[in-house]
Structure 1
């Protein structure tokens, strides 16, 4: 496996659909998948419970399609990560590998932008995230057979990182967007905008940028401060006035929730991130005195971060000049454009800037 700043490679196992028999099977060979979007990597990179648990309703970045009888018209694929660790310690996701021309998936999914690399969340209300390919395949076969025999639709729920990206770009002051990072309903990352400048300008925070932020971290249950860039603690200031770090997914220069939760921010914007334990300090927490004296972070603690973006790559004022950051590559937003104040993303606008 090779990992670059803007690319993630993973071993995959295709679940190919054979139209003659209307079934799916798992070939024995492995293939190599490249260019998995950074947001997809983040949203799919946390360990899920192996139990299949149905969740009520759809998430902000999810959509469903009701398939009829006959072949689905798409290939699914298993992505396993991270590489270099025992298989039992790896996590896996099932994503769309191909959409067949003229099939159900293309016809029913066109309006919802069903395409390769979209994650599969559930089949007829049964969550498959974290399932092994063989188990997901078995469930899909069983549910497809039951649906066809009963002349009922087969409902598949998908999660699209592109929707999450667009909602972050279009979020208004007081608004919020969330994404599921675990099977349990409590494993949800929520991004709220507390304050939005009247005009964001042409520059937004993206992968690879050096960000300057001011922040405060709270324990969600008690709203006690456990961390911050400038916190008055017993009459003394704790931490720096500002924090500088490179926004790179997987580099661990900042809390993991920041790696996606701060994407698309403009200078002067303030956000609140409600962070589940899996993106915080997990099962172990933080011992007493390691961050703020006398205040440990308990195991499985939900956290809240209030973050203000002060600067991007040394620029601390809003600008309408998209070239103000020189040769900066617009990786996160290279497929986005803004028309009449609404941002949309996708292959049809590739190469456009916000």
Structure 2
């Protein structure tokens, strides 16, 4: 039986991709980079961060969006307040940077799922870090949010 090189490579790459996601590998893509001279601080565990995000399933179905609520999410990074994929995938991020995370089930909601998220779902998260401030009602904070939303 003769198998073409193209078919073999396609199957090989597909198997590697499926195995990478199933094995719990978090994938981080940077969709908007901040120039190094403009990155005054990077996120680290223990920081209180405010982010805007849009969460989707593999098929593109959006299950949650802070943009829809016009309210950023604030949490302490690395504290377990959010899914592990976020705690890991948002480390070393600059203000204004945007990332696309592909989160395997074991770093998301696992075998239990939650609400519109089925069990063992791979999650796609588009996230922009807005600020380190705790006071998300301040005028300067709201002004920065508006600027980042316009760039979205």
Taking structure 2 as the reference length, the TM-score comes to 0.69
Point out the structure with the larger strand share.
Answer: 1
State the 1:283 CA deviation. Answer: 1.0
Partner of 1:283: 111
The answer on 1:266 being equivalent to 2:94 is yes
Residue pairs, 1:90-105, within 5 angstroms? none
Cα RMSD (Å) of the superposition? 2.1
The answer on 1:215 being equivalent to 2:53 is yes
Residue pairs, 1:155-174, within 5 angstroms? none
Q: CA-to-partner distance for each residue in 1:70-92, whole Å, 9 max, x for gaps?
A: xxxxxxxxxxxxxxxxxxxxxxx
Structure 1 unpaired stretches of 5+: 1-55, 57-183, 232-238, 288-295, 318-354
The answer on 1:230 being equivalent to 2:67 is yes
State the 1:240 CA deviation. Answer: 4.6
**SS in structure 2 at match of 1:285:** coil
Displaced runs of 4 or more, over 3 A: 313-317
> Which whole-Å CA distance do the structure 2 matches of 1:254 and 1:209 have between them?
13
> Which whole-Å CA distance do the structure 2 matches of 1:224 and 1:305 have between them?
11
Point out the structure with the larger helix share.
Answer: 2
Partner of 2:77: 247
Aligned CA distance change for structure 1 residues 240 and 256 (closer, same or farther; 3 Å): farther
Decide whether the 8 Å contact of 2:28 with 2:102 is kept in 1.
yes
State the 1:284 CA deviation. Answer: 1.7
Partner of 1:197: 34
Q: CA-to-partner distance for each residue in 1:3-38, whole Å, 9 max, x for gaps?
A: xxxxxxxxxxxxxxxxxxxxxxxxxxxxxxxxxxxx
The answer on 1:310 being equivalent to 2:140 is no
> Which whole-Å CA distance do the structure 2 matches of 1:265 and 1:201 have between them?
9
**SS in structure 1 at match of 2:83:** coil
Number of residues of Structure 1 aligned to a counterpart in Structure 2: 117
Decide whether the 8 Å contact of 1:209 with 1:313 is kept in 2.
no
Of stretches 194-203 and 299-308 in structure 1, the one that deviates more from structure 2 is: 194-203
Taking structure 1 as the reference length, the TM-score comes to 0.31
